[in-house]
Structure 1
Amino acid sequence: MKHITALSLAALMASTAAPALAQSKGDFTLALGLGWVEPSGGSNTLAGRINVDGNLRPTVNFEYFIADNLGIELLASWPFQHDINLAGAGKVAETRHLPPTLSLQYHFTNSSPITPFVGAGINYTYFFDDKGKGPLAGVPVSLDDSWGLALHAGVDYAIGAKSALRADIRYIDIETDVKVADIPIGTVKIDPWIFNVAYVIRF
């Protein structure tokens, strides 16, 4: 009788535990969230040392599973806007950019509601609406588009059979050649970390 009671209790606990977010070949997931882009450092240029401020924007991720637990993901977002600061002069320019990133990702298999994943891919960053500000107000400023590698890791916490909450971090290699008044002043390494939280739904 004790064995039957123990088996019944185990079965009840399994049935009430939070589900794992299984990822099977042919599945498609959509993640809606918020992402903070935090540039990792500054760069020395002919004009002096340049730093780029961080920014928060809505993000959207699409992922299609080409095999069980293995997906191809596209990161998209609302355009990020950044202030560009020159040491000793403060804000001297601002820019906007779109950072679409395509990654191959592996989601680990487990029976827990927490599913970690890792990924790597390629990023294309499109800079636009560059403007001189402060001491450079009215002076043409331009940032070249960038190609670079991207690394990604995170966890999904299943809250339903087809839904989860996600927390993830991404590192992107972004370097851009900068011109002021059409004069090249050097390469600025932005190399941001992107911190993201999202709601994920599987179709």
Structure 2
Amino acid sequence: MINDFYQSLCFKLKLFLDVILTNKKMKKIVFALVATSLLMTTVTQAQEEIKNNDFKRWQVRLRGIAVVPNESANIGIIGGDVAISNAFVPELDFTYFFTKNFAAELILGTAKHDVNTVGSDISAIGGPTSFDVDLGSVMLLPPTLTAQYHFFPLKEKKFKPYVGAGINYTLFYNVKEGDVVKDVEYDNAIGFAAQIGFDVMFDDTFFVNFDVKRLFLKTDVSVNATNLAEGLIIPAQVEINPWIIGLGFGMKF
């Protein structure tokens, strides 16, 4: 019985197709319906693709940042610790969105810091057993690249938090050794970075931003104090590990 049913169904379908294919008017109608269906499917897929990519991929921010070192040091020969001053400077950063959620950020900024030892023993050269040695100042240029995940990508959301992690390469330059020692050298260094922050949108283009980063940064330092004692070179390993706290405005494009 089932075979009879399928044979009857196939026969009817064959008759239906024969009628359509031998009737020019019906053939045009069928082709028109098929073409319309394919076109609507293509348009729907294109609209979905546009919807998925309907966002501005670039944004730029101008922030004021506080660079707050969380310093410590292992100082040879004279011992003691290190103190590094805070700095307040402008900073520029660029962000590119690969998707609505995933992005990469590059920050550019430079800061000047005053440096001195704390509680060093310089009795071997006729000084006190606890003395703060002025090591002058140094400029830091720490370009930092982070991969970010942005929450709430919908345009309707004004508050857009994000988290990120990446890598930092710090250049030490324009070293001023001060009036006590002859010279100070800092090794450029690579470190890791972590961040958290949020944007508050004014509209689809402009926004205000708050951002906190932590750089895990360590450098080797060599202090040339041969002006104080013959052959006196003081090595040190310094962990700077600064917090970078920023507030500013941004624009998407």
TM-score by length of 1: 0.82
Structure having the higher strand fraction is: 1
Q: Which residue of 2 aligns with 1:156?
A: 199
Which whole-Å CA distance do the structure 1 matches of 2:56 and 2:161 have between them? Answer: 20
The CA RMSD over aligned residues, in Å, is 1.8
Q: Is the 8 A contact 1:119 1:153 kept in 2?
A: yes
Pick aligned residue for 2:186 from 143, 149, 153 = 143
**What do residues 112-167 of structure 1 show as CA deviations (whole Å, max 9, x unaligned)?**
3111000000000000111211422xx11110001011001001111121111001
Task: Please name the residue that 2:113 is paired with.
Answer: 82
1:63 to 67, 77, 95: 95
Q: Does 1:43 align with 2:76?
A: no
**In structure 2, what is the equivalent of residue 52 of structure 1?**
84
Equivalence for 1:187: 237
Q: How many residues align?
A: 178
2:58 is aligned with what amino acid?
F
Whole-Å separation in 2 of the counterparts to 1:128 and 1:108: 38
Compute the displacement of 1:180 (Å): 1.1
Tell which has more relative contact order, 1 or 2 (C-alpha 8 A, sep 6+). 1
Matched, 1:94 2:137: yes
Q: Which one has the bigger helix percentage?
A: 2
% same residue: 30
Tell me, yes or no, if the aligned pair for 1:24 and 1:69 is still in contact at 8 Å.
no
Give deviations 1:63-113, integer Å, cap 9, x for gaps. Answer: 111112211110101x21000011132532210010000010011016431
Paired residues of 1:42 and 1:52 also in contact (CA < 8 A): no
SS for the counterpart of 1:135 is: coil
**3-state DSSP of counterpart to 1:68:** coil
Give the residue type in structure 2 aligned to 1:39: P
The amino acid across from 1:119 in the alignment is G
Deviation at 1:26, TM superposition (A): 6.0
Instruction: Structure 1: give runs of 5+ residues left out of the alignment.
Output: 1-22
Aligned residue in 1 for 2:10 = none
Distance 2:223 2:176 in 1: 10
TM-score of the pair, normalised by structure 2: 0.66
Rounded to whole Å, the distance in 2 between the matches of 1:97 and 1:180 is: 18
* Change beyond 3 A, Cα 1:26–1:160: closer
